[in-house]
Amino acid sequence: MNGEELTEQETALYDRQIRVWGVDAQRRLSKSHVFVSGLKGTVIEFCKNIVLAGVGSLTLNDDNPVTEEALAANFLIPFDENMGGGGSLAELCCDSLKDFNPMVHVSVEKGDLSSFDVDFFEKFDVVVISCCSLAAKKSVNEKCRKLSKRVAFYTVDCRDSCGEIFVDLQKYAYAKKKADETVECQLQYPSFEEAIAIPWRSLPKRVSKLYFAMRVVERFEEVERRKPGETSIEDLPNVLKLRNELCLAHSLNESQIPDALLERLVASTKEFPPVSAVLGGILGQEVIKAISGKGDPLKNFFFFDAVDGKGLIEDISTS
Amino acid sequence: MASVQQLSAIKDAKVLMVGAGGIGCELLKTLALSGFQDIHIIDMDTIEVSNLNRQFLFRQSHVGQSKAKVARDAVLRFRPKINIKSYHANVKDSNFNVDFFKQFSVVLNGLDNLDARRHVNRLCLAADVPLVESGTTGFLGQVTVHIKGKTECYECQPKPAPKTYPVCTITSTPSKFVHCIVWAKDLLFAKLFGDKNQDNDLNVRSNDTATSSEHSEDIFEPRKDEDIQQYANRIYDHVFGHNIQTALSNEETWKNRNKPRPIYVKDVLSDEPIQQNGNVDKLLANDNLSSLSAMAYLGLKNPQDIWSLKENSRVFFAALKLFFSKRQKEIGNLTFDKDDPLAVEFVTAAANIRAASFNIPLHSLFEAKGIAGNIVHAVATTNAIIAGLIVIEAIKVLQNDAKNCRMTYCLQHPSRKMLLMPVEPFEPNKSCYVCSETPLLLEVNTNRAKLRDLVEKVVTSKLGMSLPLIAHGSGLLYEVGDDLGKDEVANYEANLEKVLSELPYAITGGTIITVEDLQQELVCNINIKHREEFDEEKEPDGMVLHGWTPAPAAENNKEATDNNGASTSSTSKPASADVMEADDELSIVEPGVETLPAGGKKRKLSDVPNSEAPIDEKRAKKIPEKNDGDDVIVMLDDGNDDDITAS
């Protein structure tokens, strides 16, 4: 980081945030490369935040066509292009995001998320995936972990008024300011697969019920071979059945995963824009922390439910 | 997706947003996506480059245009069918009166200053419209809900302390860099480039006050046969040399302090020719006024660099010469503006030279600008989160679901696992002079204080009234307004200069006066208590107002900032201040700029002093214990009947 200065243009544009995280962090941000897949409302919010913050590049992956549902939480695509033009979601979002900050290189990567190999991810410092299957989460996470460099991995999902963020920074060292001195801290993160394999009964008491509920729904979609979010109220009996089986296997009281919560998650899978804004903001902040190496990163799950208004961090790991 | 009840509440709502800045842009977007159909938005500001890192509805090409209008146009691009009405205006304008506020179902604030927040709070109370208030600074933020009679109003708790400094600290005994900034900005800059007739304490504390201040009048006036360089040298030697020398002669002052050293031009720039008019001429050849820069002239590039005393002195001279040669017309009318590069350069240089004199560490232009301009740390992410939380609360308000409304704190470091911490709103403060009718008590010497003192030191500054009316019984003593006749104006002007006990309707001990703001529809009764003597140091106003809670000095903020601070940079925290404080104290911020100092007597704060968001850590931690680990199932039982936030 020595010797290189921010340009006059950067200093003027980023003035207010440099006052928050410093010049060093800003330089690191401008050299970082971020990949996102699954451009629903929450990820769109995240993209906006990270482009404004001034990352080096942002690569968008989502081949889906623009549908009414996709537009519901999307502020990037102008109205007159609604469902017209035939461009993919990523292509249309790319145009708008470029506009937000000319200093960030925004591009589109076509293809199915599962088709990208380990080398593909080497280009990036941060990988964020959303709206994808359990298998895809595990597999992309593993690919990131196979690389010699550390690629920060995140998943984010929003259902109904609830949201979940998962973070894997592998072995992560960062500077923490304590009183007047800066302390070096280290954290060891489990992979997504490792984290969710931890037996529920060995987790600390009072882990957010959302954690368990999200695992049940995720498992249900996998067993039923559904696309992410492809559930309805009709599925509730089967989801409850699966809940009971999992609770039995994990020796967890069923009341820890209330029917009503599962009902909300299964019945309305659309995003609620204010919740997307909250999750996209938290995720943006976490990615900025991870890139800049400044501040406590969250380990390793974050949950938000607009019904009780709490934004909770849960550490689901063995270390 | 929102529930049916939610959707209909959203569709029918008419929303007033005040502020189209950092929070405002995010809020307008989130409201539009959430299905709101009718949104009015007020903002008096125009767009600046430093907004673009977070106010994402704006582009470079919009710089200089109305924030409210550009934000509206940007949102209509993706939601063309909704109604958004923009006002490029000050929310304190008289057309935004109680009737105007009454048309809305809810008011959402995304403001950046205490004055406007108080004003909107009063209008919301008068119009009986719920208010969702918000603020952010760095990674910290908060959302609060204010419903008349059900929750506390915005002013039920003491508001943050504008940080001010005793005059003598600024003029004679600075010990921190911020003192040097205040001196350079409020005294030197104002003296040289501002209104010459204004009182200025630049010289007052020197040894012999009388002769010195008389003398100073001459000093700052350019002499007839003097060129700019000679004038600049004379000013430099006077303020950094002579004044310090004079101050040193007062032995008493330096008994327990490090003595400053006088700095003269010849000591610093002895090796270069003092006469540089040739260079200045070159510099003046082709510059356009807005890009005038002493740094560019001197080849200094990085605003993060800390300049040497010599470099600061060069910047001082270059900036001063540029003002006097290129911006001659503005001299006499200039006020410090953080977006005026030449002004920032001058203030940075002057503050640093003074700092060198007093052995205080020098600072970069970037840091000095932050302190002088009271610049709020701001990032997009916090604003986005806060805007999301505002909409969540607004929807509850619209469904008349006050019991489920929450104040929410956005923290930088988790507290009991929470980054977003909801807290039950507090009940109205029964002794709040704004939302209850509790009278205030004023101790004043009614034979000495003039009506003007009462207006300036109490009504305007402390009670935050903009269109005040003062009455004793049915007798009017003072009024402000456009519709007054000439005679009335003259009459009130004359009253201002009268001592209280000699007014047409005399104010003496035991009198109850009524103070009213016609626009805010706020009425306060003030019981007057005559008191002969006041302590000049502790009660500089010469009067003491009880019932109104004075803002405490923000002494705890440093510590609090470290606990949950917004800043990870090495930038010094700008001390905040506000013109609302006592006249005798110098403040570092001009009204209306991005500032809302945090503080509260009973509330320990977790944010930086000049925050947009007063955050109350103590209150945040005071959450009822049952809230800890409050089970989702509990909330869901409520949620089933009344699905307030399901989507």
- Summarised one tens digit per residue, pLDDT across range A127-169 is 999 999 999 999 999 999 999 999 999 999 998 899 999 999 9
Task: Name the residue among B4, B70, B9 with its Cα closest to residue B36.
Answer: B9
pLDDT of res. B546: 84
Question: CA A97, A102, A105, A108 torsion: positive or negative?
Answer: positive
Which range, B106-110, B449-453, B530-534, is most confident? Answer: B106-110
Please report the pLDDT score of residue B201 as a whole number.
63
Residue A13 has pLDDT above 50, yes or no: yes
Alpha helices in chain A (DSSP H): 8-30, 41-53, 68-72, 89-100, 118-122, 134-146, 192-197, 209-223, 236-250, 259-267, 273-292
CATH H-level superfamily of B4-158+378-430+626-641: NAD(P)-binding Rossmann-like Domain (3.40.50.720)
Tell me if the bond preceding A300 is cis, omega within 30° of 0: yes
- Chain B within 8 Å of A179 (Cβ-Cβ)? yes
DSSP assignment of B273-311, as one string? Answer: -S--HHHHHHHHTT--GGG--HHHHHT---TTSPPPHHH
Q: What does the mean pLDDT of chain B come to? A: 79
- Range of weakest confidence among B160-164, B364-368, B463-467: B160-164
Residue type, B471: A
The segment with the largest mean pLDDT, out of B161-175, B487-501, B548-562, is B487-501
Average pLDDT score over residue span B260-265:
94
Q: What percent of chain B has pLDDT over 90?
A: 45
- How many CB atoms lie under 10 A from the CB of residue B618? 13
Which two tokens mark B289? 């006024």
| Contact state of A270 with B380 under an 8 Å Cβ cutoff | no
Report the largest interatomic distance among the alpha carbons of chain A, rounded to a whole angstrom. Answer: 63
Given a cut of 50, is residue B588 above it in pLDDT?
A: no
Looking at the complex, does the CB of residue A17 fall below 8 Å from at least one CB of chain B?
yes
Phi/psi region, residue A251 (left: phi>0; alpha: psi -120 to 50; beta: rest), is left
Of B50, B565, B632, the CB nearest to A261: B632
For chain A, percent of residues with pLDDT exceeding 90:
72
With CB atoms and an 8 Å threshold, state whether B417 touches A76.
Answer: no
Burial class (CB within 10 angstroms; exposed 0-12, middle 13-18, buried 19+) of B533: exposed
The least confident of A279-293, B198-212, B601-615 is: B601-615
A184, HSE (Cβ side, Cα atoms, 13 Å): 2
**DSSP-derived secondary structure for B101-163:** HHT-SEEEE--SBHHHHHHHHHHHHHHT--EEEEEEETTEEEEEEE-TTTS--TTSSPPPPPP
> Is A310 in contact with B387 (Cβ distance < 8 A)?
no
Taking residues B134-141, report their average pLDDT.
90
Q: Write out chain A residues lying below 8 Å of B624, CB-based.
A: none
d(Cα B155, Cα B125) in Å, to the nearest integer?
Answer: 11
B54/A304 touch (CB, cutoff 8 Å), yes or no: no
Q: Binding site annotation covers B385? A: no
Superfamily designation of domain B175-359? Ubiquitin activating enzymes (Uba3). Chain: B, domain 2 (1.10.10.520)
As a whole number of angstroms, the longest Cα–Cα distance in chain B is 86
Does the beta carbon of A82 lie under 8 angstroms from any beta carbon of chain B?
Answer: no
The encoded tokens of residue B480 equal 């402000």
Q: Distance (Å) from the C-alpha of residue A301 to the closest C-alpha of chain B?
A: 11
Inter-chain contacts counted by CB atoms under 8 A, chains A and B: 240
Residue B636 contacts A where some CB pair is shorter than 8 Å: yes
A5 and B645 in contact by Cβ < 8 A?
Answer: no
Q: For residue A76, what is the nearest residue in chain B, using CA coordinates? A: B78
Strand, coil or helix: what is B386?
helix
Token representation of residue B67:
């924030």
Could you tell me if B592 lies within 8 Å of chain A, comparing CB atoms?
no
Task: Give the model's pLDDT for residue B291.
Answer: 66
* CB interface of B with A, residues 275-304, below 8 Å: 301-304
- What pLDDT was estimated at residue B589? 34
Percent above pLDDT 70 for chain A: 97
Tell me, what's the pLDDT at A271?
Answer: 87
B419–A307 C-beta distance less than 8 A: no
Please determine, for residue B82, whether its predicted confidence score (pLDDT) is greater than 70: yes
Considering only CB atoms, B54 lies closest to which of A52, A160, A271, namely A52
Q: Is B80 on the interface with A (CB under 8 A)?
A: yes
pLDDT band at B583 (very low <50, low <70, confident <90, very high): very low
Place of tokens 């640093």: B352
- C-beta atoms of A305 and B387 within 8 A: no
Write out the residue limits of the CATH 3.40.50.720 domain(s) in chain A: 8-193+271-314
Nearest beta carbon to residue B406 from set A12, A77, A309: A309
- Contact in structure between A47 and A58 (CB atoms under 8 Å): yes
What distance in Å separates residue B278's CA from the closest CA in chain A?
A: 28
Contact B165, B182 (CB under 8 A): yes
pLDDT for B197 equals: 67
Q: Is B113 annotated as a binding residue?
A: yes
Asked if A310's CB is within 8 angstroms of B421's CB, the reply is yes
3 state DSSP class of B376:
coil
ipTM of the complex, rounded to two decimals: 0.95
Mutation target among A19, A42, A231 for the B interface, most CBs of B within 10 A: A19
Q: Mean of the per-residue pLDDT values for chain A?
A: 91
Contact between A266 and A221 (Cβ < 8 Å): no
pLDDT at A85 over 60: yes
CA distance B428 to A297: 38
Residues 6+ apart with CB under 8 A from B412: A295, B138, B139, B140, B564, B565, B566
Q: Is the pLDDT of residue B592 over 50?
A: no
B429 within 8 A of B549, measured Cβ to Cβ: no
Q: Say which of A20, A161, A312 has its CB closest to residue B138.
A: A20
Q: Which of B602, B605, B565, B624 is nearest to B406 (CA)?
A: B624
| Pair B20, B68: CB distance under 8 Å | yes
* B621 vs B288, more confident: B288
Going by the DSSP 8-state scheme, the letter that residue B438 receives in this structure is: P
CATH fold for the domain made of B440-546: 3.10.290
Q: DSSP string of B332-345?
A: TT----TT-HHHHH
Q: If pLDDT is split at 50, 70 and 90, which confidence band does B631 have?
A: very low
Task: Give the span between the Cα atoms of A281 and B376, in whole angstroms.
Answer: 19
- Exactly one of B25, B124, B168, B524 is catalytic; name it: B168
- Identify the closest residue of chain A to B49 by CA–CA distance: A13
- Token pair recorded at residue A116: 């990208």
User: A154 forms bridges with which residues in the sheet?
Assistant: A128, A167
Using an 8 Å CB-CB cutoff, list chain B residues near A280. Answer: 384
Of B78, B376, B631, the CB nearest to A209: B631
Nearest CA in chain B to A294: B568
For residues B37-66, average pLDDT: 92
Q: Is A236 on the interface with B (CB under 8 A)?
A: no
Contact of A10 with chain B, judged by CB distance below 8 Å, is answered with no
- B43: annotated binding-site residue? yes
Q: Which CATH number fits domain A8-193+271-314: 3.40.47.40, 3.40.50.300, 3.40.50.720, 3.40.640.10?
A: 3.40.50.720
Residues above pLDDT 70, as percent of chain B: 77
Residue B29 and residue A309: Cβ atoms within 8 Å?
no
CA distance B300 to chain A (A): 12
Q: pLDDT digit string (tens) for B544-568? A: 888 776 444 333 333 333 333 333 3
Q: Do A284 and B384 count as a contact with CB atoms less than 8 A apart? A: yes
Q: Catalytic: B410?
A: no
What residues in B contact A304, CB-CB < 8 Å?
Answer: 420
Can you give the residue ranges of every domain in chain B? Answer: 4-158+378-430+626-641, 175-359, 440-546
Shortest distance, CA A6 to any CA of chain B (angstroms) = 9
Judged by a CB distance cut-off of 8 A, whether residue A168 touches chain B is no
Q: How high is the pLDDT of residue B304? A: 87
B421 touching A, CB under 8 A? yes
Instruction: Check CB contact of B77 with chain A, cutoff 8 Å.
Output: yes
Task: Provide the pLDDT confidence category of residue B604 given band limits of 50, 70 and 90.
Answer: very low
B305 touches chain A (CB under 8 A): no
Of A22, A76, A284, the CB nearest to B568: A22
In this structure, what are the phi and psi dihedrals at residue B253, rounded to the nearest 5 degrees?
Answer: -60, -35
Q: Is the pLDDT confidence value at A18 over 90? A: no
Indicate yes or no: CB of B568 within 8 angstroms of CB of A264. no
CB-based contact B445:B542 (threshold 8 Å)? yes
Name the residue type at position A5: E
Between B435 and B582, name the one with better pLDDT.
B435
- The larger pLDDT score, comparing residue A42 to residue B571, is at A42
**Does position B635 have pLDDT exceeding 50, yes or no?**
no
Do the chains contact at B382 and A53, CB–CB below 8 Å? no
Q: What is the pLDDT of residue B216?
A: 44
In this model, does residue B19 exceed pLDDT 70? yes
CB < 8 Å from A in window 422-441 of B: 422
For residues A171-187, average pLDDT: 82
Q: Three-state SS string across A283-304, please? A: HHHHHHHHHHCECCCCCCEEEE
> Cβ contacts (< 8 Å) between B25 and chain A: which residues?
none
Encode pLDDT of B316-369 as tens digits: 999 999 998 888 888 888 889 888 889 999 999 999 999 999 999 999 999 999
In this complex, is the C-beta atom of B79 within 8 Å of any C-beta atom belonging to chain A? yes
| Structural contact between residues A265 and A162, judged by C-beta atoms closer than 8 angstroms | yes
Interface subset of B 132-151, CB within 8 angstroms of A:
138-139
A57 or B521: which leads in pLDDT? A57
d(CA B37, CA B31): 9
**Chain B 548-567, residues with CB within 8 Å of chain A CB atoms:** 562, 565-567
Is the model's pLDDT at B1 over the cut of 60? no
* Mean pLDDT of the region B368-388: 89
